[in-house]
Amino acid sequence: MCGRFTLILEPGDFEDEFDLGGIPDSYLPRYNIAPTQPIAMVADARSKRAEMFRWGLIPSWAKDVSIGSNLINARAETLAEKPSFRSAYKTRRGLILASGFYEWRPDPQGSGRKEPVYIHPVDGKPVTFAGLWEEWHSAQGDVIRSAVIITTHSNELISPFHERMPVILFGDDRSRWLDPWSSPEILNNLLVPFPPDKLAFYPVSRMINSPSAEGAACIQPLAGG
């Protein structure tokens, strides 16, 4: 699964890394993005503008927003079947911008506690997670746009920590994912593990266990790690 991630690009760096039509004025670099918090996502293939969504999908038919806390990840294998995701899979696909993500492993020192690790691209460049989005309207007229990260089975690097990992798209696959005319065959072929040799990891502080933890210290490598 993916329960925490980062997006630490400065606003001026977006044009160099992504072919975007703009970024939200409210964007700030984040070192510990947690569920229900804002995430940056490209949801429109034409404008390619990044916009802020709430992390945790709230289907349009939901009675209230609480369901979003349980829908932060969606399994790639069942997107076309699950009522919460099948409509969005057909027509509301997006690219969630990220610099890296966290996972937890057993403490090598044998304490029995889980130790967080930060997983990031070897080349240091940001990535895009495959995502879905929805627009939810409350009885009071409020509108919330929310998103979910799609996961697939883990590659060889991450499988010792967890059986799932986010679907990472790059190159032309990003355009194929956003293309409203992409066939189910094309979409399904994109939902595969990212090559393990293109990722690396290192242990970080347990401070990230708190959703309120923020700042560069979150991704600081642990001494001796």
Reported as a single tens digit per residue, the pLDDT across 44-65 is 888 889 999 999 999 999 988 9
Three-state DSSP state, 176: helix
Which listed residue (2, 51, 134, 218) is catalytic?
Answer: 2
- pLDDT score of 19: 79
- pLDDT score of 209: 95
User: Quick check: is 2 catalytic?
Assistant: yes
Which listed residue (17, 51, 77, 103) is catalytic?
Answer: 103
User: Quick check: is 15 catalytic?
Assistant: no
Would the pLDDT of 133 be above 90?
yes
Q: Which of the residue ranges 54-63, 94-103, 136-145, 204-213 would you say has the lowest mean pLDDT? A: 136-145
Tell me phi and psi for residue 215, to 5 degrees: 110, 170
DSSP string, 98-136: ESEEEEEEE-TT--SSEEEEEEEETT---EEEEEEEEEE
The 8-class DSSP code of residue 221 comes to P
Would the pLDDT of 225 be above 70?
no
Q: How far apart are CA 180 and CA 148, in angstroms?
A: 18
Mean pLDDT of the chain: 93
Q: What is the mean predicted confidence (pLDDT) over 153-181?
A: 95
CATH number of 5-219: 3.90.1680.10
Res. 16 pLDDT band, cuts 50 70 90? confident
- pLDDT score of 177: 97
Tokens read off for 153: 């089975």
Res. 6 pLDDT band, cuts 50 70 90? very high
**Percent of the chain scoring above 70 in pLDDT:** 98
Q: How far apart are CA 73 and CA 59, in angstroms?
A: 13
- pLDDT score of 2: 84
- Full-model pTM: 0.95
H or E stretch including 15? helix 14-17
Question: Residue ranges per domain, the chain?
Answer: 5-219
Would the pLDDT of 73 be above 70?
yes
Q: What is the mean predicted confidence (pLDDT) over 185-190?
A: 95
- pLDDT score of 224: 64
Q: What pLDDT, in 10s, does the model give residues 79-130? A: 999 999 999 999 999 999 999 999 999 877 767 789 999 999 999 999 999 9
